[in-house]
Amino acid sequence: MSTNAGEVRPLLSTALTGAELLRWYWTLAELTGLARQMGVTARGGKAAVTARLAAALDGLPEPAATGPAAPRRAGRQLAAPVDGTTVIPQGQRCSQVLREYFVREIGPGFHFDAFMRDYVAGHAGHTLAEAVGHWHATRERAAGPQEVGAQFEFNRFLRDWHARHPDGARADALAAWQAHRARPRD
């Protein structure tokens, strides 16, 4: 929280420095709008767009990408019918074919949570029966609180706010969010 009471969030413009950009909360929509205005690559996640904008505002070269060099291309996708012996191919997506199989095997409570999305994406060569086993093995961890990724700052704020104010109303939480995002990060 800032000790600089009374500061007002500046207008998002090319007049900002990179450091000033980083001091404030901006939505991805705001950042991509500025990126397009400046001719900076606007694709990617919020952290990547912010880093490119901060560098451009300071007259520095675009930072090196930290993720994969090229977008992951999906390979051959599974088609129905599938069964427990079906092998997950490289690049398989969490498709309707897989959803139908898992609902049939696990029941109507099945959904693609982070554990299953990661399993499908990272376990090419394993069978769908092994994926069902993974589902059952991760239910206890899935039932507990999950870490909310840094890119979901709004969701993290609401979870923390409601933990501090268990009887608080949603309108109060949203007002607190508006006040939070209007303050500098330092």
Contact of 28 with 48, CB cutoff 8 Å: no
Q: Kindly report the three-state secondary structure assignment for every residue of 12-41.
A: CCCCCCHHHHHHCCCCHHHHHHHHHHHCCC
Q: What is the pLDDT of residues 14-39, one digit of tens each?
A: 999 999 999 999 999 999 999 999 99
Q: Is 91 left (phi over 0), alpha (psi -120 to 50) or beta?
A: left
- With 0.75 as the threshold, say if the pTM is over it: no
- The Cα 12–Cα 61 span in angstroms is 20
- The Cα 43–Cα 67 span in angstroms is 13
Contact of 97 with 82, CB cutoff 8 Å: yes
Q: What is the pLDDT of residues 61-110, one digit of tens each?
A: 988 876 554 445 556 899 999 999 999 999 999 999 999 999 999 999 99
**Contact residues for 29 (Cβ-Cβ < 8 A; gap 6+):** none
Please state, in angstroms and as integers, the Cα–Cα distance from residue 28 to each residue in 14, 53, 67, 91, following that order: 16, 12, 18, 27
Q: Give me the residue label for tokens 């909360």.
A: 25
| Average pLDDT for 108-116 | 91
